[in-house]
Amino acid sequence: MLEYGSLNKKIFIGCLLLFIVVDCQAGIVAQRWSKITQPTLGAAQSIGGYSAGCLKGAATLPTDGTGYQVMRLSRKRFYGHPDLMQFIENLAQSVYTQQLGTLLIGDLGQPRGGPTVSGHRSHQTGLDVDIWFLLSPEANSRPLTVSEREKWSASSVLLGKSDDIDFNQWSLANAQVLELAARLPEVDRIFVNASVKRQLCNSTAKRDWLRKIRPWWKHDDHFHVRLKCPADSKECQNQDPLPQGDGCDKLAWWFTEEAKKLPPSPITESVEPILPVSCDAVLKE
Ligand SMILES: [Zn+2]
């Protein structure tokens, strides 16, 4: 009995060590990518999948442009495929022209993409961007200071911890921004909180663009735009195509107890992504 107990203990400690090693390695891989401060030169190439990939020849998003401002400059996550820069600049220009406000831009990707030490599992191929729902009149009137860009928080469009939309935070302009984004052909999908999708389903007459609006956990203070693989990125892996229909009839599950149990957090997950071999060269260049 004693021996069995001590064997169990050894296995337990062994597993614990193994988990720590795996976890450390996952951290080490991400650290290698996050330590790099410059993109590689040459033509842009998105390589691999959104959650296991990297980026060659990244472009840098200017911190300010017509209709947008980049937040959290210290994170240095303002790199991406040139298609992503073009998308952000186009969308922001339309938002500006239609006087919907100023877009506050969160994370894009790291200088060479790859896994990050914090925050996301995706954003690895330079084709993902987070944009705040907050359309602040203040940000619309002047450039925010560096410190404001660090300290401001993205406000949730939900009332407290409920599933109800907070109409002090949400307005028609938010829906219009999402529609402008979803109608751009390079956009593959946009992740939003299920309550946001429900709000759009209930308030939109012409629903064809809602197909691209996908319910996902969290995403109540920002939306996440994902572009399709650029045509000349031969090693880029698209996600499975979107299901048919606007998805408004498939929302009920998101409001069940089962759905409320959050998916594994990207930070506690110990499995490291296996990147395509081509990413080794991108890291070493
Ligand atoms: Zn995101």
Residue pair 112/34 in contact (Cβ under 8 Å)? The answer is: no
Each as own residue / partner, the long-range contacts of residues 200-206 (CB below 8 Å, 24 or more positions apart, any chain) are: 200/175, 201/246, 201/248, 201/251, 203/175, 204/175, 204/179
| Predicted confidence (pLDDT) per residue in 169-198, tens digit | 999 999 999 999 999 999 999 999 999 999
19: left (phi over 0), alpha (psi -120 to 50) or beta: alpha
Please state which of the ranges 77-86, 120-129, 261-270 shows the lowest mean pLDDT. 261-270
Question: Cα of 63 to ligand 1 centre, how many Å?
Answer: 18
Question: Cα of 125 to ligand 1 centre, how many Å?
Answer: 12
In this predicted structure, what is the pLDDT of residue 5?
A: 41
Residue pair 221/183 in contact (Cβ under 8 Å)? The answer is: no
Averaged confidence pLDDT in the chain: 90
Residue 276 domain boundaries: 2-284
Q: How far is CA 68 from CA 106, 144, 250, in A?
A: 11, 11, 33
Residue pair 74/144 in contact (Cβ under 8 Å)? The answer is: no
| Predicted confidence (pLDDT) per residue in 238-252, tens digit | 999 999 999 999 999
d(CA 46, CA 56): 6
Residue 267, pLDDT above cutoff 80: no
Question: Cα of 223 to ligand 1 centre, how many Å?
Answer: 7
Question: Cα of 20 to ligand 1 centre, how many Å?
Answer: 27
Q: Where are the beta strands (DSSP E) in 163-227?
A: 187-192, 213-215, 222-227
Number of domains in the chain: 1
pLDDT-derived band at 270 (thresholds 50, 70, 90) equals low
In this predicted structure, what is the pLDDT of residue 107?
A: 97
In this predicted structure, what is the pLDDT of residue 1?
A: 35
CATH number at residue 133: 3.30.1380.10
Structure tokens at 285: 């260049």
The arithmetic mean of pLDDT across residues 125-140, rounded, is: 97
Q: How far is CA 190 from CA 73, 155, 273, in A?
A: 23, 19, 23
